[in-house]
A and B are shown apart, each in its own frame.
Chain A
Amino acid sequence: MTGRGCDLHQSPAESLTSDSKHGSSMASSSSSSSAQQRLRIIAGHLQKRPEDENASVAAQECKAEAPRSEPSSATPVPRRRQEIMKWNGWGYSDSRFLFNKKGQAEFTGKRYRLSGLILPSLKDWFEGTFGANLQHRSPATPSLNLSAVAPPNLNQPFVEDLKAAGLTVSHDPEDRVFRAHGHCLHEVFALREGRIGRVPDTVVWPSCHSDVEKIVELACEHNVCLIPYGGGTSVSSALECPREESRSIVSLDTSQMSRILWIDEKNLTAHVEAGIIGQDLERQLNERGFCTGHEPDSMEFSSLGGWVATRASGMKKNIYGNIEDLVVHIKMVTPRGVIEKSCLGPRMSTGPDIHHFILGSEGTLGVVTEVTLKIRPIPEYQKYGSVVFPNFQQGVACLREVARQRCAPASIRLMDNEQFQFGYRSQFKGFDPQHLCVATLLFEGDRGKVLQHEKQVYDIAAKFGGLAAGEDNGQRGYMLTFVIAYLRDLGMDYYVIGESFETSVPWDRVLDLCRNVKERIVRECKERGVQFPPLSTSRVTQTYDAGACVYFYFAFNYRGLSDPVHVYEQVEHAAREEILANGGSLSHHHGVGKLRKEWMKESVSGVGLGMLKSVKEYVDPQNIFGNRNLL
């Protein structure tokens, strides 16, 4: 603990048995000898499937190759995801918050740092913040009522052709329901109530690029609607089946395409199948001494293809870049054929970058099958940090200065006072607990430089009244990011609903935007009959030269409301209007989906939208990729 005058109390999110382990850790790669490196390269070659063979590999063959003995290639996400993941909530089935018989909050399972721990002050925070009461429960429907799922509208010839091509197909209601939603509040809320809308009629699992080519070819032939499905973590209604779609809807689940096809240590690139999920990609690369450094908050579940399709952003983009900076090559199967570049050159001037038609296309043009990504050696040293500021204004001013000096750590995030009260509830001498806020930091690199860098940032912070508050406080902030989605499910058990949304905005508008949007949320809730004051908080999660990414968390107790989801949606809509009116963007990295479509024209101009539409028109005239996102 480096913070002076820090008097830490229990925060709601802090465990009783909170270990005092420091955040900094030496990465194992420092032990790598040259012999081991050679071994790794050989292992890589063994695993490698030459590019040029790819085209000729038949579906059958590529499937035969799928089971591998290589220990580092972890098994992909199971086809029956519901076996390990919740069908009506976030994440793994074994991990969830609950209030035990004593009224104490617990986090179950073994996967996370918080797992198995008791969180004694969460109850007080929860009841105090939302006016919720443990006596008032709103439990979810325990299991999926299969009779609520409409029978599949099958295109028999298509299904038969798929089977003939040796592809794995399912019409199982559980499989179909699982792929009919992302994690928007309204989607999860409906599942919890056991309401099932339009779901895909078929699920198909390709194992490689050529499987996808076959599926798309057949889909065109039989005119069925394809909806690519990666990690299922969408928060833009992107996975919702369009109600007006009368064709058979096929969910194309990329989870079985999860291999690292090759690693090129000379150029520091890796060629990876797009179905791989973030944690597997990172773990497998780590085992070989590398990383992508791309860590979106959803990285446990979201997939590489999904990142490309939504223009994802990772927490450590200051070092590694966002997804558009990371990709070197993309291969996408469209109804017109395969789109890709002819070389792996790091930059080219060949007209508008065709990657940018793919990045952010949100599954409307085709399926991303393989991606060549930049990789980096695992950093030698990693260190968390935190700074408390007397108020949010000072914190933003500090982040702005850090951006001006272009010395942002791998990650720097500023939480406002409300979030501080949730995550920390600590006392800092000389700081008003009603105004203070905290920035969490993550430094990466070689040890000497990290320490130097750290000093530079803390010196800047000091100019803005910031006080270093220790590594633990920093690490806790990042740890909370991964469990916060689980927390929403807990809230929903007790009449509390909420969601987060984001934007990007020029520096000079950050404060005004945060204040106005938060106040708009409070006001809209009041006007719409929400009985309790909502939680309306913001944080700055990314810094750029010309602006920042801002996140809002918004939740309220809905007791007394007849249609809470509708109220929620109206408030979020108003909040988005407010964001746009204050110079914020429609989205920084969540994407547009169907949720924010109405603002697309306003956001990119009529001509801009027309350009995108004409691309869609050319690439997919039959609207095979008919999820109706974006346009």
Chain B
Amino acid sequence: ICFENSMQNIVHNSDVSSESGDSTECVAEEASLILDEMAHRLQLSTVRFFVFTLSKAFKRLFRSVCVNEEGIQRLQQAVQEHPVVLLPSHRSYMDFLMMSYLLYMYDLPLPVIAAGMDFMSMKFVGEMLRMSGAFFIRRSFGGDKLYWAVFSEYVKTMLRNGYAPIEFFLEGTRSRTCKSLTPKTGLLNIVMEPFFKGELFDVNLVPVSISYERILEESLYARELLGIPKPKESTSGLLKARRVLSEDYGSMYVYFGHPVSVRSLTEGKITRSQYNLLPRCIPQKPSADTHEFLNDAAFRLVRIQEENMVLKPWVLIATLLLQNPDGMDLSSLAEQTDWLRHLALAFGAYLDWPDHEACSEVISCSLALHRHLLSVSAGHVQLSVTDAPQVESTPEEAVFHQAVVVLSCASYRNQILHVFLRPALLAVAMQSANSNRKDDVYNCFNFLRNMFSNEFILCPGDSVQDFEEACYLLMKRGVLQVLEHEIVMSASGHSTLAFLSSVLDPFLQGYQVVSRYLCEETNENLTEKEFIPAVRNFALKLILAGRLKCYEALSSDLQKNALAAFLRLKAVRKVKVGDQVTLKVNKIAVNSLEDTLGKSDVTSHQNSWCSSMAMFEIAI
């Protein structure tokens, strides 16, 4: 009833009706259609059925599902106090099934989940999900004001009534790379607004980190990144997925983080009285301040997700295998993994390393679980295609097969990137800076950080903090000495710095490939749509010609991020011509960026690139 009232408010107050010229009745009807399409219909019987099925499935898929029970207790407490919003990371379809399953098992109120509309087209399953508490939102409704109004009122009503936690994914979609995605702020604004407007005393945000020892969608993702289109979610697709039931996916980890109070998060940052002058039922666009706050909060929440992500030994092994494309001897792999384990722990990684097992034992277990990505012979391990098709049809296909393996493996390395990211940026900056002077190094660090801010989770405005954190970690590790004006590498620091630099190497190379493509591309009317296939082709040619060894340059994710960075740095512009969006490239600027990146690249870093950075500034 309460909701019906607010719906009426929407219909009367939103400027939809006045804009479209439709009568209020029309708008009301449309709104109720939207609502039908969206709403969840939580039914406990369905949930029980689902739980029964899921527990069977989960038992077959996973060796174990580990949950931090003190996190569950905190959640139980939080649910008593204020409305709760669950914010899980999103790596797999399993995520929200597992969330609901766990909450059910722990006797917590079942969440209502904002799920993408694509699920709805799975006829039977869609309805099942709906009855398990999922409600569906269109993937994009940027322009549709009525849709937005109905949707936000729906979410807020559920939150205000407080009968169930709301669950949604900050990252908006499943990360195909296992790197956290740049968070979206729209839904975060919706769940915070009842607090901003005083309708709730507080809202508890609970970041949840879900990690998999082996991801179900592993090779699917890799194929998708390589441009092999993803099948539309359909029930038959899911049935085929039954095949996965026979495989071993290791363990799964769910970590419920500390509840983050929106009230304390906003303290001193949001002036709630800005909402005093409009009736609260009228939807309001967030002010610039609010927007900045939301963005900042979203980044921080994703970082909490990252920090709480449980990592398996395999991510260390994957990192090392990617850095050694020609393979490694088992003994040196063991040695280096052990070294890396200590480095990761020193940097604060949340590593689930078996307590009383020998390193070699741990490694062979990991290798066994991921044997489909490896070839092991005579004590030598190498990433390779194992189930290669009998007939090697074309060289292109061979490249793609190898790329699938590399990208699959990279998705594991990516899980630990957040641990190494800041020191790695510093390591690269050290190598490319003109001098050891702190401000030189910082400038380089800042440039790289800026370049990669679409690629990794780097909180906007935290540049100095990140730099200091990196310095601190490397100093603590004895890699660097940070003096008042200088940063000096310690005698023993070389191997660590070399490792850290190569962590970023695929990204540096990948971005260079993209910029080289943009400089060499002659088509004046390159459309946005053509961009990905064209870059992929370009990279493929380079690989086939033996001029590029970095398969990750083929990843559409990297290519998109690089383009976003160039757009942000205004080296590329979007121009709308008719229905098409074309990309206008400022070749001088892109070239200069490429130079700068090239000089950061471990393979060639004699020349200073700070001078070219100055050039770049002139160019743009």
Please list the residues of chain A having a beta carbon within 8 angstroms of any beta carbon in chain B: 508-509, 512-513, 515-516, 519-520, 580-583, 602
Contact A509 B198, beta carbon cutoff 8 Å: yes
- Chain B residues closer than 8 Å to A515, beta-carbon distance: 201
**A414 CB, nearest partner CB in chain B, Å:** 19
Taking CB atoms and an 8 Å cut-off, the chain B residues in 256-306 that contact chain A are 271-273, 275-276, 279-280
Contact A582 B279, beta carbon cutoff 8 Å: no
- Chain A residues closer than 8 Å to B199, beta-carbon distance: 512
Bound-state CA distance A512–B196 (Å) is 12
Contact A581 B198, beta carbon cutoff 8 Å: yes
Interface residues on chain B, number (Cβ under 8 Å): 10
- Chain A residues closer than 8 Å to B271, beta-carbon distance: 581
Contact A581 B273, beta carbon cutoff 8 Å: yes
Taking CB atoms and an 8 Å cut-off, the chain B residues in 203-241 that contact chain A are none
Contact B198 A513, beta carbon cutoff 8 Å: yes
- Chain B residues closer than 8 Å to A583, beta-carbon distance: 198, 273, 275-276
**A548 CB, nearest partner CB in chain B, Å:** 15
Q: Which 10 A-B pairs have the closest CB atoms?
A: A581-B272, A582-B198, A583-B276, A512-B198, A519-B201, A516-B201, A580-B273, A512-B199, A581-B273, A516-B198
**B576 CB, nearest partner CB in chain A, Å:** 41
- Chain A residues closer than 8 Å to B279, beta-carbon distance: 508
- Chain B residues closer than 8 Å to A516, beta-carbon distance: 198, 201
**A359 CB, nearest partner CB in chain B, Å:** 24
**B487 CB, nearest partner CB in chain A, Å:** 41
State which of A508, A512, A519, A602 has its C-beta within 8 Å of the C-beta of B273.
A602
- Chain B residues closer than 8 Å to A513, beta-carbon distance: 198
- Chain A residues closer than 8 Å to B280, beta-carbon distance: 508-509
A-B contacts besides A509-B198, A581-B271, 13 pairs, CB < 8 Å: A509-B280, A512-B199, A513-B198, A516-B198, A516-B201, A519-B201, A520-B201, A580-B273, A582-B272, A583-B198, A583-B275, A583-B276, A602-B273
**B293 CB, nearest partner CB in chain A, Å:** 15
**B289 CB, nearest partner CB in chain A, Å:** 14
Q: B-side binding surface: helix, strand, loop or mixed?
A: loop
Bound-state CA distance A519–B271 (Å) is 19
Bound-state CA distance A581–B198 (Å) is 7
**B544 CB, nearest partner CB in chain A, Å:** 63
- Chain A residues closer than 8 Å to B276, beta-carbon distance: 583
- Chain B residues closer than 8 Å to A520, beta-carbon distance: 201
Bound-state CA distance A462–B380 (Å) is 85
Residue-by-residue, is B179-198 near A (CB-CB < 8 Å gives 1, otherwise 0)?
00000000000000000001
Bound-state CA distance A515–B160 (Å) is 13
**B193 CB, nearest partner CB in chain A, Å:** 13
23 of the cross-chain contacts (CB-CB < 8 Å) are A508-B279, A508-B280, A509-B198, A509-B280, A512-B198, A512-B199, A513-B198, A515-B201, A516-B198, A516-B201, A519-B201, A520-B201, A581-B198, A581-B271, A581-B272, A581-B273, A582-B198, A582-B272, A583-B198, A583-B273, A583-B275, A583-B276, A602-B273
Bound-state CA distance A515–B198 (Å) is 10
- Chain B residues closer than 8 Å to A581, beta-carbon distance: 198, 271-273
Bound-state CA distance A513–B280 (Å) is 13
- Chain A residues closer than 8 Å to B201, beta-carbon distance: 515-516, 519-520
- Chain A residues closer than 8 Å to B198, beta-carbon distance: 509, 512-513, 516, 581-583
Bound-state CA distance A508–B276 (Å) is 11
- Chain B residues closer than 8 Å to A509, beta-carbon distance: 198, 280
Q: Which residue of B lies closest to A518 (CB)?
A: B201
- Chain B residues closer than 8 Å to A580, beta-carbon distance: 273
**A40 CB, nearest partner CB in chain B, Å:** 50
**B300 CB, nearest partner CB in chain A, Å:** 22
Q: Which residue of A lies closest to B276 (CB)?
A: A583
Max chain A C-beta neighbours (<10 A), residue from B198, B271, B273, B275:
B198
Q: Which residue of B lies closest to A515 (CB)?
A: B201
Bound-state CA distance A582–B196 (Å) is 9
**B18 CB, nearest partner CB in chain A, Å:** 23
**B516 CB, nearest partner CB in chain A, Å:** 53
Bound-state CA distance A175–B407 (Å) is 87
Q: Which residue of A lies closest to B196 (CB)?
A: A581
Bound-state CA distance A519–B261 (Å) is 15
**A351 CB, nearest partner CB in chain B, Å:** 27
Q: Which residue of A lies closest to B281 (CB)?
A: A508
**A465 CB, nearest partner CB in chain B, Å:** 16
- Chain B residues closer than 8 Å to A602, beta-carbon distance: 273
**B238 CB, nearest partner CB in chain A, Å:** 44
Bound-state CA distance A280–B274 (Å) is 45
**A576 CB, nearest partner CB in chain B, Å:** 12
Bound-state CA distance A580–B275 (Å) is 11
**A604 CB, nearest partner CB in chain B, Å:** 13
**A458 CB, nearest partner CB in chain B, Å:** 25
- Chain B residues closer than 8 Å to A519, beta-carbon distance: 201
- Chain B residues closer than 8 Å to A582, beta-carbon distance: 198, 272
**B568 CB, nearest partner CB in chain A, Å:** 35
Bound-state CA distance A520–B195 (Å) is 13
**A578 CB, nearest partner CB in chain B, Å:** 9
Q: Which residue of B lies closest to A582 (CB)?
A: B198
Q: Which residue of A lies closest to B194 (CB)?
A: A512
Q: Which residue of B lies closest to A509 (CB)?
A: B198
Bound-state CA distance A515–B271 (Å) is 19
Bound-state CA distance A516–B273 (Å) is 14
Bound-state CA distance A582–B279 (Å) is 12
Bound-state CA distance A602–B272 (Å) is 12
Q: Which residue of B lies closest to A603 (CB)?
A: B273
Bound-state CA distance A520–B202 (Å) is 10
**A191 CB, nearest partner CB in chain B, Å:** 35
Bound-state CA distance A581–B271 (Å) is 7
Bound-state CA distance A267–B276 (Å) is 41
**A17 CB, nearest partner CB in chain B, Å:** 43
Bound-state CA distance A274–B271 (Å) is 41
Q: Which residue of B lies closest to A581 (CB)?
A: B272
**B162 CB, nearest partner CB in chain A, Å:** 12
- Chain A residues closer than 8 Å to B275, beta-carbon distance: 583
**A392 CB, nearest partner CB in chain B, Å:** 15
Bound-state CA distance A509–B276 (Å) is 10
Q: Which residue of B lies closest to A513 (CB)?
A: B198
**A471 CB, nearest partner CB in chain B, Å:** 35
Bound-state CA distance A280–B273 (Å) is 42
Bound-state CA distance A580–B279 (Å) is 16
Bound-state CA distance A515–B199 (Å) is 9
**A547 CB, nearest partner CB in chain B, Å:** 12
Bound-state CA distance A448–B276 (Å) is 42
Q: Which residue of A lies closest to B198 (CB)?
A: A582
Bound-state CA distance A466–B271 (Å) is 38
**B272 CB, nearest partner CB in chain A, Å:** 4
Q: Which residue of B lies closest to A508 (CB)?
A: B280
**A518 CB, nearest partner CB in chain B, Å:** 9
Q: Which residue of A lies closest to B266 (CB)?
A: A581
Bound-state CA distance A38–B201 (Å) is 62
Bound-state CA distance A520–B280 (Å) is 21
Q: Which residue of A lies closest to B277 (CB)?
A: A583
**B1 CB, nearest partner CB in chain A, Å:** 13
Bound-state CA distance A20–B397 (Å) is 99
**A73 CB, nearest partner CB in chain B, Å:** 48
**A472 CB, nearest partner CB in chain B, Å:** 36
Q: Which residue of B lies closest to A516 (CB)?
A: B201
Bound-state CA distance A520–B200 (Å) is 12
**B274 CB, nearest partner CB in chain A, Å:** 10
**A289 CB, nearest partner CB in chain B, Å:** 45
**B267 CB, nearest partner CB in chain A, Å:** 10
Q: Which residue of B lies closest to A585 (CB)?
A: B276
Max chain B C-beta neighbours (<10 A), residue from A520, A580, A582:
A582
Max chain B C-beta neighbours (<10 A), residue from A509, A516, A520, A581:
A581
Bound-state CA distance A563–B272 (Å) is 30
- Chain A residues closer than 8 Å to B273, beta-carbon distance: 580-581, 583, 602
Bound-state CA distance A513–B276 (Å) is 12
Q: Which residue of B lies closest to A512 (CB)?
A: B198
- Chain B residues closer than 8 Å to A512, beta-carbon distance: 198-199
Q: Which residue of A lies closest to B160 (CB)?
A: A512
**B86 CB, nearest partner CB in chain A, Å:** 23
